[in-house]
Structure 1
Amino acid sequence: MHPNDVPKSYDLTEAGDRYFDGLADKFSRSLYQAPRGELRLAMLDYLLPQMLLLNEQNVLDVGGGLGQQTAWFAKRGHKVTMAEPSKDMLSYAQQWHHDDPTLPHSSITYRQASLQDLPPQAPGPWSLITCHAVLEWLGDPQAALANLSDLLAPGGQLSLMVFNRDALRFSNVVKGNLEKALSDRLEGKGKRQRLTPISPITHNDIVQWSAANGLKIDAVAGIRVFQDYLRHPPATPAEKETLLALEKQYCRQDPHWRLGRYLLYTLTKPESPE
């Protein structure tokens, strides 16, 4: 067992949110140095230019984690404010950003802040906000989307990625956890190092919450539509390339996108009436 994998208990915040102090190394190993993390980043690299109108505008990266998305935007000419509540995660991101000679470091500003703290610390309004894999770790994801809408400028875009509750149910059935799936006991507790989100989200949730906040769903895609259900993971580079090609081909096609492990949305805020 890796020293950092010794079982440890974690507390949720008063708001019922899960932060990730002490887990930066685990995130790096489990999510980004593993096939599922590599595929997730490859699909974002493929989809974001399709789903967003990018013109080097300022970006607010909410819950930026280890800093991958912040770096992606900075390298493409955007000035990015990265907000992350975990001091450990933020320090990890700053260090590897500093060590990357291809990154325009002056384009990145860091804020140790939760989503709820952003109105006074990074009020905007912002023409582009990214919030990837954050809402599912919050006690009240519906309120969080309302907060993001308030930060968004009229005509602005929100790139939102959430952990798909329906995919989690399907995955549990595939694994043989039939009673768990039938009783819909899918949420993680957020107390240990396991990374099952405490508030997995359905597409219908996003449809309803977006409408309630006056946001329009411009585009949607599934991230990791097939990978998590494979009986045998790709064993060769050629098989990995074939899987990536499959993911790219079907990630925006109905019904396949609906079972993506993550759902990626572009939400827009209508222009103010004249």
Structure 2
Amino acid sequence: MHPNDMSKSNLISSYELTQAGDRYFDGLADKFSRSLYQAPRGELRLAMLDYLLPTMLQLNGQKVLDVGGGLGQQAAWFAERGHAVTMSEPSEEMLNYAKHWHRDVKSLPEEAVTYVQAPLQSLADQAPGPWALITCHAVLEWLGDPRAAVATLSTLLASGGQLSLMVFNRDALRFSNAVKGNLEKALSDRLAGKGKRQRLTPISPVTHADIEQWSAENGLRIETVAGIRVFQDYLRQPPTTPVERETLLALEKQYCRQDPHWRLGRYLLYTLSKPEITE
């Protein structure tokens, strides 16, 4: 079955939150693909990750746990660079999409990625590690308790390990609403989505202060941070030519780690580390 046909055969009648208050994406794989990865904002996000990850992580072919891997883009990125990847994803539809995409489009060998259908909360049992490298990109904002998720990720991380964490930035969401004229919404801080129907506004957008607090609570150290889509979401006129798109990408690269610009990235990308235990 072609990946784009999966959502048609696996549609569900409602898009309610789970008992834990999390948002899964069964029935939305095709919409995710169109909205997030076949659009300029998705292309820029992937281009920035391609640029930033080699500079923010120490990559030496170590095994990777990709938490909430979605459609499989990040798992493929690491697998293509020689890492053995375990990709976890709670949505059966999203996981099946990733499997077919890895095989049919990316031509990855079957053993390159191991797939685990599981929510983040159960990974201590289903993929305990400890892991030298964990990626968790655009997951926390879809959970009912993102603070508890950071604690779980910390338990999965090996001593001396790295956690690549990307989160949807609440401060950027507020600024974007103000730019669009949604002044009352921005003032009252009614920013989170409800997790209903097919809307893709995150239910738990987080702030840099949140990540600072939750990291400290779990003995994790923030090594570096960058903003992704610092400028794109605020443009009055989006780029229309290849030259304009290249100029925007160059602008994003130049300022993504400079203060104060990174703080308004639509996503914040962190490298967190777990200090090595010394005897």
Give the TM bin, normalised by the shorter chain: over 0.9
- The structure 2 residue matched to 1:168, chosen from 165, 173, 180, is 173
- The structure 2 residue matched to 1:244, chosen from 249, 259, 274, is 249
Quick one: distance in 2 between partners of 1:12 and 1:236?
Answer: 40
CA positional deviation for 1:100: 3.1
Return 5+ residue gaps in structure 2 as ranges.
1-6
Other-structure match for 2:32: 27
Q: Which SS does the other structure have where 1:124 is aligned?
A: coil
Q: Which SS does the other structure have where 2:46 is aligned?
A: helix
The residue correspondences of 1:117-196 to structure 2 (distance < 5 A) are 117-196=122-201
- The structure 1 residue matched to 2:50, chosen from 32, 45, 53, is 45
1:111 aligns with 2:138: no
Q: TM-score, normalised by structure 1?
A: 0.97
Quick one: distance in 2 between partners of 1:253 and 1:104?
Answer: 39
Q: TM-score, normalised by structure 2?
A: 0.95
Regions of 4+ moved over 6 Å = none
CA positional deviation for 1:179: 0.3
Is this contact kept in 2: 1:133–1:162, CA < 8 A? yes
Quick one: distance in 1 between partners of 2:56 and 2:167?
Answer: 16
Quick one: distance in 2 between partners of 1:266 and 1:7?
Answer: 36
Matched-pair identity in %: 80
The residue correspondences of 1:23-102 to structure 2 (distance < 5 A) are 23-100=28-105, 102=107
**1:162 is aligned with what amino acid?**
V
**2:204 is aligned with what amino acid?**
S
Quick one: distance in 2 between partners of 1:74 and 1:9?
Answer: 34
Is this contact kept in 2: 1:75–1:102, CA < 8 A? no
Quick one: distance in 1 between partners of 2:235 and 2:101?
Answer: 32
CA RMSD of aligned residues (A): 1.4
CA positional deviation for 1:178: 0.2
- The structure 2 residue matched to 1:198, chosen from 199, 203, 207, is 203
Quick one: distance in 2 between partners of 1:40 and 1:203?
Answer: 19
Q: Which SS does the other structure have where 2:202 is aligned?
A: coil
**1:229 is aligned with what amino acid?**
Y
Quick one: distance in 2 between partners of 1:27 and 1:130?
Answer: 19
Provide Cα deviations, 1:15-71, integer angstroms capped at 9, x if missing partner. 100000000000000000000000000000000000000000000000000000000
C-alpha distance 251-8 of structure 1, shift in aligned 2 (>3 A): farther
Provide Cα deviations, 1:85-134, integer angstroms capped at 9, x if missing partner. 00000000000111135423312100000001101110000000000000
Quick one: distance in 2 between partners of 1:104 and 1:210?
Answer: 36
Q: How many residues of Structure 1 are paired with residues of Structure 2 in the alignment?
A: 271
Q: Which SS does the other structure have where 2:16 is aligned?
A: coil
Q: Which SS does the other structure have where 1:219 is aligned?
A: strand
Is this contact kept in 2: 1:75–1:104, CA < 8 A? no
**1:200 is aligned with what amino acid?**
P
Other-structure match for 1:262: 267
Is this contact kept in 1: 2:15–2:197, CA < 8 A? yes
C-alpha distance 101-143 of structure 1, shift in aligned 2 (>3 A): closer
Is this contact kept in 2: 1:85–1:113, CA < 8 A? yes
CA positional deviation for 1:205: 0.2
Per mean C-alpha deviation after superposition, the further-off stretch among 98-107 and 31-40 is 98-107
